[in-house]
Structure 1
Amino acid sequence: VEPATSAAATLGVWATTSRPRVSIRQNNNGVPDRSGNFRQVQRMGNPLINELIIGVGSKDRWSMDAPANEAQFSGFFADPTLPRVLNALTGGVLAIPAPPRFDLRPLVQYVPPIAAPGTAPGPVADLLRLNTGVAPTPLASASRLGVLGGDNAGHPNGRRVFDDAVDIALRVVAGGVLAAPFPGFNANVNGRLGDGVNVNDTAYQPSFPYVGLSPSGRDRRHIDPTEPGCTAGTGAPCPPE
């Protein structure tokens, strides 16, 4: 294993979803007849890139293309629309960096705080990057905000099952939280953005399959937002984070 300071320590991966080119749905048994080669219909590197950064008119094209062809979408990473929408909704209180958005480069190139300084950045490409030299953080001390929470073993350095991808993505896209010098995260109102869901309703596991056991569909009662529940029913409701 390369040390975290090595230019060879960071790798990038992506995955796709494909389906047969032709599907004919039958009425007799409900099973469609499929033919033709499989065609890519979706891809993913970092979570929520298509949803939060890629423009509406380009989402399908982006989904069917490959990271090797990302240059045609580079304008969305340099000047995404979502921060402008957030600013309009919040009355301009967000400190959104002016385009071009160099602070988003860690999502699409091999640069700090994920890759080691001196690593060749490579072309713009949405890949889930992981510095394999960074030691995993014990579950008890891990932060759901990953790198933004001071936990360098978490997203966007890879993605663990308990990383809060929505809150991280909102804060990163709003701007400033991945900007050098590191660490300098959550220093402004951008670092308060989130969906309000900060904890899982069951504990994660430290080994495979990592996710918590499913709640009983028969015996479990839903806990409403105004009820105690963040500490197994004995504490106060979750505070905003």
Structure 2
Amino acid sequence: YEIHIDNNGDVKEDITFQFRFKNNLKGIPLTIGSASVPIPLVQVGAVSNLNDANLNVNETYEVKVVRGDRRKGAVSSVTKTGGSATFEKPVDNIGTKTIPDYPAYAAKHIHTVTIPGCPAGKDQGKVFVGQRQEGFAVNLGPVFDLVNAPAAVLLDPANKDAAGNSGRHIIQRANNITTMALEVHKDCLTAGSETVIGGWTTASLRQARLINGAPASGNSNAEKAGGAWTQVSRLGNPLVNELVIGLPDKDKFNASQPKDDTQFLTYVSNPTLPALLSVVLGADVAPKNLPRTDLLTTFLTGITGVNKPATPAPGEMLRLNTAIAPVQFADQNRLGVAGEVLRVGGTANLAMAKDLAGFPNGRRPKDDVTDIALVAMVGGLCAINGSNDALKLNSVPGVPSLTSKCDATALSALMAQPGPNGLPNAANIHDAVDQATVPFLATFPYLNTPNAGSATY
């Protein structure tokens, strides 16, 4: 698993953090009669410490830093206090009898680390890998069931958590995920005077896999894997592969790199999602400004004055301007940059903005990226760009052949119509699940304690 950082705008990785995992089987036995018999479970009793004696399987990992090309660059190890390069991962939250105090147990697996190659005094960070409560709120069922909700509900801001309140949606509060969290000083990621970094993650497998039909005892003898590391998954901006890339090219996108993203330009410049929304909602919501230079700029180069590097090349990744000050959780606008521009009454009043640190300028846990993506898809960014092209969304850096008129005239009649709050419907569209209601922690790793596998009776 890799986290890639581009710090000069050429959409190629300059720094990569590589995570490699290992399961260590202890084979704890119990004496049954005269026989010593290995137990079938991952635990033999209560668990509270690192590599607890009652754990039958202890999972560990290493973190490498690669500077330059991910496969050819210089490699060095991230180390924890004491110098070890091996980190312990907590076992999942099996239940309260096995792990009575999971928050305290998990906290022991937050490691203070030294990151080689960073400026002096800026090389300290934190790493945590382990189970967390899912923090991404999205109304998956209705969205992928041909948007099974009336347009009147999805366009009324008063209903922004209607599904959340009903309890019928597939929100992740009841689900857990494995999280890889890394806290790094910004000066460790930037280069020179460029303050904008781009980031994306990938997962890779060995190219060949051979199943052993008669494995020996142990937990690593069922298969043999070899060959080059081959990328099988990729994520930068959320929902790109799910809702933008066409079905024939989803595997192709997962195996690709941002530097080659011009091959996918048509999916962004002429997106199908707005047209599909128009069909299933029975009303025209698709903007008229084709090619969609607003989407190409937002997702492939960054927005001028927000998160565009000085000399950007087009490539899909999550961009963050490290020069924009972060905002306290309570003051964050759930709709990110677009929501803040709308809050102050347009780009002419940007001096009044308090929060330009949200998606698509990075991605914070509180940012309602599903709603923001929907707003962008139906032309919400054109509604705030204005006739003077304040956000420079009428063209795409690096792709001079693509231009459009991204202003309020690009919106469909329905999306231009004012909603109950006076804002155009394009700014109000949502999936009826409010990201702001998801619980988070106030400190690293920020994602909440995972749900226990069993309840307390």
**Superposed counterparts of 1:4-43, under 5 Å:** 8-28=194-214, 31-43=222-234
Mapped to 2, the partners of 1:87 and 1:78 lie a distance apart of 17
What RMSD over aligned residues (CA atoms) do the two structures have, in Å? 2.9
CA offset at residue 76 of structure 1? 1.3
Tell me the residue number matched to 1:88: 279
- Answering whether residue 328 of structure 2 is matched by residue 142 of structure 1, we say no
Mapped to 2, the partners of 1:208 and 1:100 lie a distance apart of 41
Mapped to 2, the partners of 1:202 and 1:50 lie a distance apart of 24
CA offset at residue 216 of structure 1? 4.8
- Answering whether residue 299 of structure 2 is matched by residue 107 of structure 1, we say yes
Q: Deviations over 1:14-60 (max 9, x none)?
A: 22110011122345458322121110111121111111111221111
| Counterpart residue identity of residue 34, structure 1 | A
- Secondary structure of the residue aligned to 1:62 is helix
* Contact persistence 1:166–1:194 (CA under 8 A): yes
Q: Would the alpha carbon gap of residues 212 and 202 (structure 1) be closer, same or farther in structure 2, given more than 3 Å must change?
A: farther
| Counterpart residue identity of residue 142, structure 1 | Q
CA offset at residue 219 of structure 1? 4.6
Greater radius of gyration (CA)? 2
Q: 1:98 aligns with which of 280, 285, 289?
A: 289
Q: Deviations over 1:155-183 (max 9, x none)?
A: 11001123222222222122232651469
Q: Would the alpha carbon gap of residues 209 and 99 (structure 1) be closer, same or farther in structure 2, given more than 3 Å must change?
A: same
Tell me the residue number matched to 1:161: 365
Q: Would the alpha carbon gap of residues 199 and 51 (structure 1) be closer, same or farther in structure 2, given more than 3 Å must change?
A: closer
**Superposed counterparts of 1:156-195, under 5 Å:** 156-177=360-381, 180-181=385-386, 187-195=423-431
CA offset at residue 204 of structure 1? 1.4
Moved more, 84-93 or 197-206: 197-206
Q: Deviations over 1:133-161 (max 9, x none)?
A: 11111011112222132131111100112
Mapped to 1, the partners of 2:362 and 2:263 lie a distance apart of 25
**Superposed counterparts of 1:42-57, under 5 Å:** 42-57=233-248
Q: Would the alpha carbon gap of residues 83 and 95 (structure 1) be closer, same or farther in structure 2, given more than 3 Å must change?
A: closer
Tell me the residue number matched to 1:198: 434
Mapped to 1, the partners of 2:201 and 2:455 lie a distance apart of 38
Mapped to 2, the partners of 1:135 and 1:40 lie a distance apart of 34
Q: Would the alpha carbon gap of residues 26 and 145 (structure 1) be closer, same or farther in structure 2, given more than 3 Å must change?
A: farther
Moved more, 94-103 or 24-33: 24-33
Q: Deviations over 1:178-211 (max 9, x none)?
A: 6514699994223333222214665312220111
- Secondary structure of the residue aligned to 2:314 is coil
* Contact persistence 2:368–2:436 (CA under 8 A): no
For structure 2, list consecutive stretches of 5 or more residues without a partner in the other structure.
1-185, 188-192, 216-220, 341-354, 392-406, 409-414, 416-422
TM-score w.r.t. the length of structure 2 is 0.42
CA offset at residue 217 of structure 1? 5.0
Q: Would the alpha carbon gap of residues 106 and 202 (structure 1) be closer, same or farther in structure 2, given more than 3 Å must change?
A: closer
Tell me the residue number matched to 2:17: none
- Secondary structure of the residue aligned to 2:363 is coil
Q: Would the alpha carbon gap of residues 134 and 97 (structure 1) be closer, same or farther in structure 2, given more than 3 Å must change?
A: farther
**Identity across the alignment (%):** 32
* Contact persistence 2:333–2:358 (CA under 8 A): yes
For structure 1, list consecutive stretches of 5 or more residues without a partner in the other structure.
221-241
Mapped to 2, the partners of 1:14 and 1:216 lie a distance apart of 30
Mapped to 2, the partners of 1:201 and 1:217 lie a distance apart of 23
* Contact persistence 2:358–2:364 (CA under 8 A): yes
